[in-house]
């Protein structure tokens, strides 16, 4: 299917709120007055109002779905629910509403008020009527791609659609390549965790992934010069020359070639070893420190060797992760003496801290092969868009969710996540009602 173009998708002049976690979208969402003002109910005809409202609403609700497809999905029957309190159902059979010649006298009982939604809690929250009009775009929420976006597995509805098309989404354990699949209540959908981490994670630094992008054939003489200029520094003792190496690296000319990229990667790895040493200095045993220092030195040697090529980076980073795994958790024999020092020279609390650190590392490791920044962290500006509607039950650990039921309206709230209030949704609903 040919998708709508995305020119000025997050434009600031004619702002639209979209189904994305984009920074510009956040601004447009926080400042949605200009968009709302396009409706101008005082001065425009009803047709114009409906048109403007429909345009706003469709800009958010499945803008990548063709108008004709949405018109087919649209349903004027809007779902709502009422809670029947068991205490009320047990005590009354409904005839109390007809008491007093159909006036319903003697209804000032707390139980009855709660059932009718006129108790003081409901009044405080201003919950009076059921906002049916907010359910205008409820059929959209049944679509697989929108549900994937709602479950916070993709950073936009379009990305969620791409995940479906690329075969990363399963429904009830079977690959579902149609983003337009309408979920049935009880359907479980799973998204490949790697895709989810990519979609929701922070962007990778451009330097880290550069080694794959450039070809080794494009080696320039300057690169050799720069790496040679570093070679003498790397032969000096490891502690003192950190600053000089870095400055040399920073001052050297930066032609885009493989050696340079690999050096950068090596440098990142070395920095990481260093920070690991620094942050957990007290927690490490002498042996571990020695091993880490040896590794740092190896990295330096490798950095000076990069002009000859080779997969030094991979071997070294595996070495580092092995080293991390090999630092073992404490033994049980010394459990009851907090100040006891084991054969590696660590007290109990130190060992605990170390194992904690290691567990954290193992869970969220540094891995330059991933397409997102590692260790994984959420992308910026994600929190203001993070909510999960009640018709989904999500397990984030396995990147799976169950579509429990269709979204419904209940007194005072509607389950369809929409940036627009009743005026816009009502007008949009009327626009689509017109044709049927």
Partner 1 sequence: MREWMQEKGEQFREHQRDGPNYVTGYQDKPFPSNPLFVSEPVLSEESREEIWRKVVQEGEAIKSVSANFGVDMRRVAAVVRLKEVEKAWEREGKKLATPYARAVMSMLPKKTLSKYREFEPINEIHVHSYTQQQLFLPTSESRHFTREDAAKAFGDRILPADKRVPHPELIALEKELLAGTSPEEAQAAFEKAAMESEVAAAEKDQKRRQQEEEQTTRVPASRFEFRFKEINVDDGGKDGRSRRGTGWRYGVPFYDRRRGEVKIPTKVE
Q: DSSP state, 334?
A: G
Q: Which of residues 343-362 bind partner 1 (CB under 8 A)?
A: none
Between 88 and 214, whose beta carbon lies closer to partner 1?
88
- Please select the residue that binds partner 1; options are 114, 162, 178, 355, rule is CB under 8 A: 178
Beta pairing partners, 201? 378
Q: Which residue in 131, 133, 92 sits closest to 111, CA to CA?
A: 92
How far is it, in rounded angstroms, from Cα 427 to Cα 137?
A: 12
- Please select the residue that binds partner 1; options are 222, 224, 277, 376, rule is CB under 8 A: 376
Q: Give Rg (Cα) of the chain.
A: 30
106 lies in the binding site for partner 1 (CB under 8 A): no
396 lies in the binding site for partner 1 (CB under 8 A): yes
Q: Which of residues 323-342 bind partner 1 (CB under 8 A)?
A: none
Size of the site for partner 1 (CB under 8 A): 92
Q: How many CB atoms lie within 10 A of CB 338?
A: 10
Between 5 and 397, whose beta carbon lies closer to partner 1?
397
CA 66 to chain centre: 26
- Contact yes or no for 366/317 (Cβ under 8 A): yes
Report how far apart, in Å, the C-alpha atoms of 381 and of each of 8, 26, 48, 375, 418 are.
20, 8, 35, 18, 19
- Contact yes or no for 57/32 (Cβ under 8 A): no
174 lies in the binding site for partner 1 (CB under 8 A): yes
Supply the minimum distance, in Å, between the C-beta of residue 190 and partner 1. Answer: 8
Beta pairing partners, 170? 175, 190
- Contact yes or no for 228/196 (Cβ under 8 A): no
SS3 235: helix
- Please select the residue that binds partner 1; options are 169, 408, 427, 428, rule is CB under 8 A: 408
417 lies in the binding site for partner 1 (CB under 8 A): yes
Supply the minimum distance, in Å, between the C-beta of residue 327 and partner 1. Answer: 20
Tell me, residue by residue from 33 to 72, as one string, x for binding to partner 1 by CB under 8 A and - for no binding: ---x------------------------------------
Q: DSSP state, 205?
A: P
- Contact yes or no for 425/61 (Cβ under 8 A): no
Between 77 and 278, whose beta carbon lies closer to partner 1?
77
Supply the minimum distance, in Å, between the C-beta of residue 6 and partner 1. Answer: 19
Q: Which of residues 85-104 bind partner 1 (CB under 8 A)?
A: 85-87, 89-91, 93-95, 98, 101
Tell me, residue by residue from 129 to 168, as one string, x for binding to partner 1 by CB under 8 A and - for no binding: --x--x-----------------x----------------
Both tokens of residue 407? Answer: 């979204």
Between 179 and 330, whose beta carbon lies closer to partner 1?
179
Supply the minimum distance, in Å, between the C-beta of residue 387 and partner 1. Answer: 4
Between 347 and 374, whose beta carbon lies closer to partner 1?
374
How far is it, in rounded angstroms, from Cα 34 to Cα 266?
A: 50
412 lies in the binding site for partner 1 (CB under 8 A): yes
Report how far apart, in Å, the C-alpha atoms of 177 and of each of 59, 165, 430 are.
24, 5, 33
- Please select the residue that binds partner 1; options are 149, 163, 320, 385, rule is CB under 8 A: 385
400 lies in the binding site for partner 1 (CB under 8 A): yes
């Amino acid at each position: 299917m040919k998708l709508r173009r995305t020119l000025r998708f997050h434009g600031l002049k004619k702002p639209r709120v979209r189904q994305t976690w984009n920074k510009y979208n956040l601004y447009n969402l926080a400042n949605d007055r200009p968009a709302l003002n396009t409706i101008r109910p005082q001065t425009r005809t009803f047709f114009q109002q409906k048109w403007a409202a429909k345009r706003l609403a469709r800009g958010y609700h499945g803008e990548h779905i063709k108008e004709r497809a949405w018109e087919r999905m649209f349903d004027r029957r809007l779902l709502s629910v009422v809670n029947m309190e068991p205490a009320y159902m047990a005590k009354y059979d409904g005839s109390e509403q007809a008491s007093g010649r159909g006036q319903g006298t003697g209804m000032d009982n707390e139980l009855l008020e709660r059932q009718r939604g006129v108790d003081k809690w409901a009044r405080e929250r201003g919950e009076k009527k059921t906002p049916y009009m907010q359910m205008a775009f409820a059929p959209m929420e049944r679509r697989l791609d929108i549900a994937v976006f709602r479950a916070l597995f993709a950073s936009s509805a379009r990305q969620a659609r791409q995940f479906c098309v690329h075969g990363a989404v399963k429904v009830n354990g079977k690959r579902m390549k149609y983003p337009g699949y309408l979920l049935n209540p009880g359907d479980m959908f799973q998204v490949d965790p790697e895709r989810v981490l990519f979609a929701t994670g922070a962007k990778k630094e451009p330097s880290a992934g550069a080694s794959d992008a450039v070809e080794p054939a494009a080696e320039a003489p300057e690169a050799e010069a720069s790496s040679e200029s570093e070679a003498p520094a790397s032969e000096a003792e490891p502690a003192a020359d950190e600053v000089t190496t870095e400055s040399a690296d920073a001052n050297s000319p930066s032609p885009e070639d493989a050696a340079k990229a690999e050096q950068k990667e090596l440098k990142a790895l070395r920095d990481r070893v260093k920070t690991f040493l620094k942050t957990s200095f007290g927690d490490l045993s002498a042996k571990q420190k020695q091993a880490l220092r040896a590794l740092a030195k190896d990295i330096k040697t490798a950095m000076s060797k990069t002009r000859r090529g080779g997969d030094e980076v991979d071997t070294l980073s595996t070495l580092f992760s092995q080293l991390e795994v090999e630092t073992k958790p404490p033994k049980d024999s010394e459990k009851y003496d907090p100040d006891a020092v084991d054969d590696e020279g660590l007290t109990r609390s130190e060992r605990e801290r170390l194992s904690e650190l290691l567990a954290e590392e193992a869970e969220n490791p540094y891995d330059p092969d991933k397409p997102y920044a590692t260790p994984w962290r959420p992308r910026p500006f994600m929190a203001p868009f993070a909510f999960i509607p009640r018709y989904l039950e999500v397990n984030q650990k396995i990147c799976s969710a169950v579509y429990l039921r269709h979204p419904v309206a209940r007194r005072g709230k509607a389950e369809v996540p929409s940036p627009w209030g009743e005026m816009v949704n009502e007008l949009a609903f009327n626009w689509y009602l017109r044709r049927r």
